[in-house]
Each structure stands twice: as C-alpha cells, then as structure tokens.
Amino acid sequence: MCGIAGVWSPGGADPEALAREMAGTLAHRGPDGEGVWAEPDAGLALGHRRLAVLELSSLGAQPMLSADGRYVLVFNGEIYNHLDLRRELEALGHRFRGGSDTETFLAACVQWGPRGAVERCAGMFALALWDRRERALRLVRDRLGVKPLYYGRAGSDLVFGSELKALTAHPGFDRGVDRDALTLFFRHAYIPAPHTIHPDARKLRPGTILTLRSPSDPGVEEVYWDAERVWREGAAAPFAGGEEEAAGALESLLSRAVEQRLLSDVPLGALLSGGVDSSLVTALMSRRGGPPPKTYTIGFREAGFDEAPQARAVAEYLGTEHTELYVGPAELLEAVPEIPRHWDEPFGDSSQIPTLLVCRLARRHVTVCLGGDGGDELFLGYERYRLGIAAWNTLRRIPTPLRGLLAGIGGVVPWSWYRALGVWGVRVGWRMEALRSPDLPALYRYLCSHSKIPASLVLGGKEPTTAFTSTDPSGLDHWAYMSLVDVKSYLPDDILVKVDRAGMAFGLELRSPFLDHRLAEFAASLPTAMRAGKRLLRRVLHRHVPPALVERPKMGFGAPVARWLRGELRPWCEDLLDPARLRRQGFLDAGEVGRMWREFLGGREYWQAHLWDALMFQAWLAARGD
C-alpha cells in the first residue's frame, strides 16, 4: 500500500523535483520510503511513497522498471493472486529478483501486455504505467474502486496522484470550487466520480484503463470490468443450485478471498464491529491456525451507537486478541480538525470519525487490517433497499394522473414558501417532490439524498449526471438495481473513500475480502431471495458463530453527532456557519443554512445530516484559508 503521484510536463523546468514534491504530500500513505523516476526527454516524472507490506527490502522499492526496461511502474495496492501469476510466469521463462507483487505485475505486462496483465490480477490497486517504447502513460484503477486515483490538468501539464493534495501541490493547478460538484455533494454527502471539488481534476472510474499519449491528450478510456455488465449477466444466468449448495460455494469463495488477503510480511489484524460482515471475516481468519487474530473496536457511551459489547462477545467466542477503545467528546474534538486534511474535498459521512479513530487504534499494533466493507452492497443488507421497494409499491398505487396533479399543485408553490412554513412545510415540500418520481430509480435517488433540492442551497449550482440518473434498470429486479447503483457510486465514492483515507492517515492498509471481484460476480448471480437481507451470508456465518451473538438490529457505524453539535462542538459550528461568513464566501444560501441551524437547536433532529454536510464543506474551506 502506497501513495503515487506524477507529472507530465514537456518543456517544464524540473518535472523530477515537482514529482518529488507531489509525492511528498502523500508521506502518510507511505512512511517507509520514497522514490522518483524521470524520463527527461519526455518531461515525465513518477513519484512514489512506500508502505512496505510485501518484500520489505529495497527489491520492493518503486518506481520499478520491468526486466526488459520497457515499462516503468508506480503502484498502490495489493495483487492477491500474484503468487499464482508468478508461478505461471516462471513457467514461461520469467525470473524474479524479489518477492513483490509489483515485480510480478511488470513481468505480466511484458508477457501479456498491460490490459492482459490487469485482467489477470485479483486485488485492489491504482497504478501509473509508463510505456517507454510507445511513449504512452496508462492510469489504471481496480474493478470495484478500492484504491483511489485522481488526474487532471495544471496549466499545460498532466498531473495525477492517489489523493487530491498531490495535484494541488502543483503551482499551476486550479484550486477553485466546482459548484456543480458541490451541488452533488449536498445531495449525496460525497462527490460521485468522475467529478471532484476542483474543476480541472477527475476521479478515474473503477475498472478503467485511461491511456494518454501526451499531456494535452484527453485520453482513451477502456472499461475492463463493468459492474453493470456483471449484474446483467448474473440476472440473465442466475445460480441454478439450491441454498445449501450456494452457501457452500459462497463459503469457499470467501475463504479463498480471506486467505489471499492474509499474505503479508508485517503484522495484521481485523476491524470487528460484531455485525454480520466483519464477524464472518474474523471467523474465517480464526480458522487458519497459528496465533489468534488481533481485533479492534471503537465504542461510544451514548445509547444507540455502541457496538463494542457485541464485538467483544464475538471476539471472546472466536478467541481473538481483542482491543477496544471508548471515545467521547474529547477525542471527537481532536479528530474533527483533521478531517479536511485527510479527505481533501468535502465529505459528509459522519462515520468517518469512528473509522479514523479505530484505524489509529489498530495502527499501534499492526500494519494491515481486514474488514467487512462491501457485504451490504453485494448481499443486499441495507434497510433502505426494503424501504425503497415498500415506498414504491405504495406510491405506484396512487393513479398516475392523481400523482401528477398533486405534484403539479406542489410544483407551483415556490420552495421558499415551504421553507417559510418551517419544519412542517419542508416535509410537505419533500413529499411533493417524491410524488414526481416516475419510477423506482427516481424514488431511490430521492431516498438516498441528503438535500432533496441541493440547487436551492448551493448558489449557482446544478447537478450533473450520476449513476443514480444514468443507470438503466431494465432487466434487473428492484433489489438488484439498487445494489448496482450503490456499487457504482456509494461504495467507491463514499465507503471506500472513507476507509482508504482513514487507514492511510496512519499508514494502515485495509483489505476487504468481500471486494474480491470473483465474489462480486458470484453474488450478482444469486437469486434475490438468497441475497436479500444477507440471508445466504447469515447462513454461512451461523456455521461459525452462534446466531445469538450476531443477530441484532443493524446499527451502522456512526457517531452521536447530533448531541455533540449541540454541545461540545457548538462554538465550532456557529463559527463556521456564521451568516456573514457564508455571504462573504458566496457558495451557500446563508438564510437557508441559518434556518436549518435554528430548527436543529430547537430539537429538529433530521437537519443533522444537512448541517454536517455544510460543516464539512465549511471546514474544508477553512483548511484552505478561505
């Protein structure tokens, strides 16, 4: 696990020095070493910060050249099947100096070409590959988007990196705010790919290879793995066996995924919440023999947020070496100022706080941790899936003409009038908007929205197309459609951004067996009856952990933000949300934000998420000095 960065600047003064500076902003991702490689006549330089996990010697250092000298690589992530690939390559005549998966990937590029190599890899990765013969740069991201990769323009230069801070280190990069991306942020609490908060930067989409032949080249995108295609193929050719057979196949696939993610030359452990996903991963880790796994949990003393007792019970049953840490307002106050520095752009998932804290806890003892991310998306675990279908089944019973009439009546009322009526008026306005939903996709977008009408909050903003508005639902049942949208957007742009930044803030590598693409392909083929509510996943888990320890209402990994905003964080909130400050900055409607804050202080809990989003944007601006 590492940080990568680079610049392509023909005629630039010193691309090598610039790449070194850009990579230096990522030192937290790679505290164990640094390296830069340059092709002076091309004006290209690649930078790398190393977190040593495999091949701890200098033989694993990057940037790394292929044995034939054609390819130069900077790589972030892990190729879990690299030993299998290495044996295959050795049989074809390749010889290796060290034990890193980076060297394996370069040999695969020589043998099968870049795309052939990528398609054979099972893992999480973001990489930049310079082809010295073709004078082409390839940027590649793993299938499900576990590892991040940003790219963009800084004047006439091409820049890229693992985090936006690497791009903003270039003196020619435009650090302005993209108001359309900001509008998306207030709808989703994250900014969906390919957008970023900056107008000249993009996120590379998961499962994509971008090939560029000059800094000004817009590039050619190749999609080598497409979740939508996988979901449709699964629906068209579903798993034909019974539930017991499916459970056996699932356990076999997940066991292999866990086993491959235990490959490490440094200590490893697991993040354990006591829920279905992390408990199953920990149970499969515990079966391998040897020393018991180390497990980590964060607890809160506020009722409704504390998962520590459940995690402790699972840990005791599995015999893990368990560590838990209870946190309160003091730890929160310490963590909140760090959020803009670690996330680089506005990010509103408040579970970033406990995630950051548990990663800091784990890093005191281990360098790698396994977790359960991806289980909800692949095995239909979110309650909003059930609620979305129930809401649509109710809505569609209202005759279309009547829905249209009611929505039309609501539409002629200015939104400002609804707001003027206070909480009741806003709720009525939202329900009028919901009536406009012509189908379940539109309703699901509505249900997943924080701000239902974000353009009313962001001055001068409008919403670009996203997976929520462009994904074709045909050929998929409602459950499969909603999970597909989440796999295309919520998973890579929220969940995986959260865990990547939280882990990398402390040089902790996080691995999720559920995000093995072979497991995702299997899950997509399962009938909905087996997937919904994690039915099949629970069946496998109950083979290893008594149901009484893990069968409880889903809590989610959150923090008691509402109480803290009214209490210990209130001075911080009022400073960031000061109306004069908002008007001076000119991004948000100061009147609307002020109204939400007053009603929240008066006891209206549902404004919590909206206000947290606003605070995260304001904190991000403050960290920039705005």
In this structure, what token pair is assigned to residue 611? 């206000």
**DSSP code at position 458:** B
Output the CA–CA distances (angstroms, integers) from residue 483 to 103, 257, 533, in the order listed: 36, 21, 12
Within a 10 A sphere around the Cβ of 288, how many other Cβ atoms? 12
Q: Is residue 223 pLDDT above 60, yes or no?
A: yes
Q: Is residue 114 pLDDT above 90, yes or no?
A: yes
For the chain, give the mean pLDDT.
91
pLDDT of residue 406: 56
**DSSP code at position 266:** S
User: What pLDDT, in 10s, does the model give residues 512-526?
Assistant: 999 999 999 999 999
Q: Is residue 561 pLDDT above 60, yes or no?
A: yes
Side chain identity, residue 77: G
pLDDT of residue 149: 98
In 54-180, at which residue ranges do the beta strands (DSSP E only) sit? 64-65, 71-79, 123-131, 136-141, 150-154, 157-161
In this structure, what token pair is assigned to residue 8? 């392509």
Cα–Cα distance between 517 and 146 in angstroms, integer? 11
Give the position of tokens 């390919």: 194
- Mean pLDDT for 289-304 is 83
Helical (H) or strand (E) element with 211: strand 208-212
Closest by CA to 195, choosing from 471, 494, 466, is 466
Start-to-end CA distance of the chain, whole Å, equals 33
In this structure, what token pair is assigned to residue 199? 């107008």
pLDDT of residue 430: 43
User: What pLDDT, in 10s, does the model give residues 260-286?
Assistant: 999 888 889 999 998 999 999 999 999
Find which of 6-15, 69-78, 337-346, 594-603 is predicted with most confidence, using mean pLDDT. Answer: 69-78
| Residue 553 confidence class, pLDDT cut points 50, 70, 90 | low
Closest by CA to 531, choosing from 282, 274, 247, is 247
Q: Where are the alpha helices (DSSP H) in 436-534?
A: 440-447, 467-470, 478-485, 496-504, 517-525, 528-531
List the 157-161 sheet strands across, edge first: 33-39, 44-50, 2-8, 157-161, 150-154, 201-203
CA atoms within 13 A on the CB side of 600: 24
Beta strands 2-8 and 44-50 are: antiparallel
Q: Is the dihedral of CA 614, 615, 620, 622 positive or negative?
A: positive
Cα–Cα distance between 560 and 261 in angstroms, integer? 33
Q: 113: phi > 0 → left, psi -120 to 50 → alpha, else beta; which?
A: left
* C-alpha radius of gyration, the chain, whole number: 24
CA atoms within 13 A on the CB side of 464: 16
Beta strands 44-50 and 33-39 are: antiparallel
User: What pLDDT, in 10s, does the model give residues 158-215?
Assistant: 999 999 999 999 999 999 999 999 999 999 999 999 999 999 999 999 999 999 999 9
Q: Is residue 593 pLDDT above 90, yes or no?
A: yes
pLDDT of residue 558: 57
Partnered with residue 588 across adjacent β-strands are: 458
User: What pLDDT, in 10s, does the model give residues 8-21?
Assistant: 999 877 999 999 99
User: What pLDDT, in 10s, does the model give residues 121-138?
Assistant: 999 999 999 999 999 999
pLDDT of residue 582: 98
CATH H superfamily, domain 2-225: Aminohydrolase, N-terminal nucleophile (Ntn) domain (3.60.20.10)
Cα–Cα distance between 352 and 42 in angstroms, integer? 41
In this structure, what token pair is assigned to residue 130? 């310079």
Q: Is residue 411 pLDDT above 70, yes or no?
A: no
3-state secondary structure 537-589: HHHHHCCCCCHHHHCCCCCCCCCCHHHHHHCCCHHHHHHHCCHHHHHHHCCEC
Q: What is the CATH number of domain 238-381+481-550?
A: 3.40.50.620
pLDDT of residue 498: 97
Higher pLDDT, 44 or 302: 44
Query: Coil, helix or strand for 375?
Result: helix
pLDDT of residue 551: 84
| Residue 335 confidence class, pLDDT cut points 50, 70, 90 | confident
| Residue 485 confidence class, pLDDT cut points 50, 70, 90 | very high
Query: Coil, helix or strand for 37?
Result: strand
Within a 10 A sphere around the Cβ of 349, how many other Cβ atoms? 22
Helical (H) or strand (E) element with 511: strand 509-511
- Asked if 208 and 174 touch (Cβ cutoff 8 Å), the reply is no
The residues, ordered by sequence, that sit 6+ positions from 429 with a Cβ below 8 Å of its Cβ are 410, 413, 415, 418, 419
Cα–Cα distance between 284 and 376 in angstroms, integer? 18
Phi, psi dihedrals of residue 401, rounded to the nearest 5°: -60, -40
Look at 8-17, 98-107, 355-364 and tell me which has the smallest mean pLDDT. 8-17
Higher pLDDT, 451 or 568: 451
Closest by CA to 158, choosing from 211, 104, 235, 229, is 211
The domain limits of the chain are: 2-225, 238-381+481-550, 384-456+467-476, 561-624
Q: Is residue 366 pLDDT above 70, yes or no?
A: yes
- Mean pLDDT for 143-166 is 97
- Mean pLDDT for 108-132 is 98
Closest by CA to 120, choosing from 162, 148, 88, 149, is 88
Cα–Cα distance between 201 and 175 in angstroms, integer? 9
pLDDT of residue 422: 43
